[in-house]
Structure 1
Amino acid sequence: MTLSSRAGRRQILARRSHAAGLLPVLRQLRSALRHDLRILAYHRVLESADPDGFSFDTELISATGEQFREQMRSIKRDFHPMRFDQVLSYIDANRRLPKGAILVTFDDGYDDNYRIAYPILRELGMSAMFFVSTGHIDSGMPYAYDWLVHMICTTTAPKLLAPELGVDWDIPDTLAERRALAARLLDQLKSLNDAGQEALISRLEREWAIPRDAGHPDCRPMSWEQLREMHEGGMEIGSHGVGHRMLAKLPKDQMNDEVNGSKRTLERELGAPAHVLSYPVGGPDAFDTETVEVVRSAGFRMACSYMAGTSVVEPGSRYSMRRLPVESEMDGAWFSAMVALPEVFSYSSRLRTG
């Protein structure tokens, strides 16, 4: 079954449930049966879900600004928005979370989080957690996976050759087809260890003469100045590693550097403890028991995966919290249904995000 057909079925059922007035009833019934924590996962919020000439991954556009504002209004009206520090305080006091507890998170640290999402959150009196890769905040460099998509979308090369993955593909003409090709390559790329991933991307940069350090206005990380402003404005800032590297794909000494280095930098730059981490990429192959132990030993008190679902907050789940991915295909009815009844309306876990 294709993504579009799965999306279509969920969307149709969501619209029917919304039109019939069933969502409040389903939400209340579920709340009586389950006492878990919803964590929404966003990446980018842009003016458009498909910007003209956008040579990056449109699947990382979680919502338009208009969609995001309506989504935040919806959860503020129907749920109990919280911050991670509040959740941790409940845990420390051995208290149950309020019914309908929900958290809002962003991964990676794109500058549109500051330009578009942050003003909306501030306007509505809400907070969110922004998980950032500190090395990219330091350098201003685009993220490696984003740059791979950009190179495939813009190269004049007729072929995509990646012998380490057995890839020998013709590069199509249209931007949409090139994005689809990039998605296929990303799926395969993430099977390699970290060194193999970096080597492949760096080789294509050289061969195609599209250097990452040139940057691009459509794919920039936030700055420390922006993050400090957001932190002072009530937002939470957490770790997404140093270089957005899949932690479980690293040797342990490098994994330690990614985890501890990001924590030290966040605390130095923001002047506040960093308690929460989001595993880059976040699928089942992005973290393991060794990764969890490194994160715990570094002093993080909670960690989020990108596995779809909700979690009961308990010792066994604190370092593998599930989240609910938000994507721009979701209209208001689908979003409301997904948050009300995640088991039915959320996407299944997808491994190609981060």
Structure 2
Amino acid sequence: MKLVRKLVPFGKKKLLAGMMQASGVNFALGGLPSWSGLLVVNYHRIGARESCPFDGNLYSATAERLERQVQQYQRHADVVGIDDLETIVAGRPGKHILITFDDGYRDNYDLAFPVLKQAGVPATFFIATGFIDRPHVAWWDEIAWIIRNAKVSSLAAGRWFECGLQIDSNDPRAAVGRAVQTYWQLQGPATEDFMNDLAREAGTGRCGPEQARNLWMDWDMVRELDAEGFDIGGHTVSHPVLARQETSVQREEIFGSMRRLTEELGKSPKAFSYPVGQPDMFTEETKQLVREAGYTFAFSFYGQYDPMTATDRFNIPRCAIDFDLPPAILQSRLTLPQVFARK
């Protein structure tokens, strides 16, 4: 294990996973108690990302790939829901996997829901309620749309990009990623200035609400998921980076999500996930507000798994399922999450 831990930081994870898969180590570990605790896997969008006019990086899997991954989860662990967390936190032994989806995209209902229902596994859908109440294009998708449709090949150096921003029209992903990361660091009201300036300098204007048609689930769909036994959780109202907001804004985002979900579902959700969920994107104050709002658990999103030895109920880690995740990495993550669930 010491050798494994030395290899991973030097970018050997993919190579190591391939070796484990080819040598049969993954197969051998799959039948052994190689870990115990909770591995939380997180998805965003489901489908074919090539046709997406927005942020293709949000796609986690096709429906077919999701089906295969769910089958892998079932072979390796007990797939659990939010109600199981109390006994797991209390020391219930074994390997447990929790499947989660963030934001409330329509493709979660159209494509993921049938797969999960057919497999008979629980899952949790974290809903940003403002996208359901007032359908509009989310800030990360609008950033991607602006850059994809930019009328210029670069943005000048200035307030937002110290060295400017180069836009490759054939592959704008790098520019989209840099712009999104810039947005992450902005405080409160500065985000709207950034979006307006980006749209103006790119020559595209802002996304109108008509471009959000069929982008999000509606409340009938959310209620159907709930009626079928899937867990519904809070994900704020408008999906801001909470740590960059004033306390009053954080409170309204967190309490507002609880209020709307309770109104629409007739019961209070137990779980919450922090938007973006990196270590610097929620604070101890944020966690306290989530607790005060009535949530029982809250999830971050920066890798790792939870051995449930000293669990922080308001910072349960999740690892991303990426569209380009090599199958060997996923297989190794299921047999040795101590190493392969790390960021």
User: Quick check: TM above 0.5?
Assistant: yes
Q: Does 1:76 align with 2:77?
A: no
Show the counterpart of 2:175: 181
Show the counterpart of 1:254: 249
Give the one of 141, 144, 166 matched to 1:146.
141
- Tell me the secondary structure at the aligned position of residue 262 of structure 1: helix
Q: Which amino acid aligns with 1:15?
A: G
Give the one of 188, 192, 201 matched to 1:198.
192
Show the counterpart of 2:19: 16
Give the one of 279, 303, 307 matched to 2:302.
307
Aligned-pair CA distance for 1:235 = 1.2
- Tell me the secondary structure at the aligned position of residue 211 of structure 2: coil
Aligned-pair CA distance for 1:261 = 0.4
Q: Give the gaps of 5 or more residues in structure 2.
A: 1-7
Check 1:8–1:35 CA distance in 2 against 1; reply closer, same or farther (3 A cut): closer
Q: Percent identity?
A: 30
Q: Which amino acid aligns with 2:180?
A: L
Check 1:161–1:175 CA distance in 2 against 1; reply closer, same or farther (3 A cut): same
Q: Does 1:164 align with 2:159?
A: yes
Show the counterpart of 1:41: 42
Q: Which amino acid aligns with 1:51?
A: E
Q: Does 1:338 align with 2:303?
A: no
Normalised by the length of structure 1, the TM-score is: 0.87
Contact 1:67 1:332 in 2 (8 A): no
C-alpha distance in structure 2 between counterparts of 1:209 and 1:219, whole Å: 22
- Tell me the secondary structure at the aligned position of residue 189 of structure 2: helix
* 1:261-340 map, 5 Å: 261-313=256-308, 317-340=312-335
Q: Which amino acid aligns with 2:191?
A: Q
Aligned-pair CA distance for 1:158 = 4.1
Aligned-pair CA distance for 1:315 = 6.7
Contact 1:263 1:274 in 2 (8 A): yes
Normalised by the length of structure 2, the TM-score is: 0.89
Show the counterpart of 2:50: 51
Between the two proteins, the alignment pairs up a number of residues equal to 335
**CA offsets 1:170-227 (integer angstroms, 9 cap, x no match):** 5434241x22111112222211112212321133345634332344369812111111
Contact 2:40 2:100 in 1 (8 A): yes
Contact 1:153 1:175 in 2 (8 A): no
Check 1:271–1:315 CA distance in 2 against 1; reply closer, same or farther (3 A cut): farther
Check 1:107–1:10 CA distance in 2 against 1; reply closer, same or farther (3 A cut): same
Check 1:197–1:217 CA distance in 2 against 1; reply closer, same or farther (3 A cut): closer
Contact 1:157 1:171 in 2 (8 A): no
- Tell me the secondary structure at the aligned position of residue 238 of structure 2: coil
Contact 1:160 1:167 in 2 (8 A): no
Q: Which amino acid aligns with 1:190?
A: W
Aligned-pair CA distance for 1:45 = 1.1
Aligned-pair CA distance for 1:27 = 4.3
Contact 2:319 2:341 in 1 (8 A): yes
- Tell me the secondary structure at the aligned position of residue 36 of structure 2: coil
Deviates more, 1:155-164 or 1:143-152: 155-164
- Tell me how large the CA RMSD over aligned residues is: 2.5
C-alpha distance in structure 2 between counterparts of 1:173 and 1:96, whole Å: 51
**CA offsets 1:256-278 (integer angstroms, 9 cap, x no match):** 00000000100111112211100
Give the one of 225, 234, 240 matched to 2:229.
234
Check 1:111–1:129 CA distance in 2 against 1; reply closer, same or farther (3 A cut): same
Q: Which amino acid aligns with 1:292?
A: K
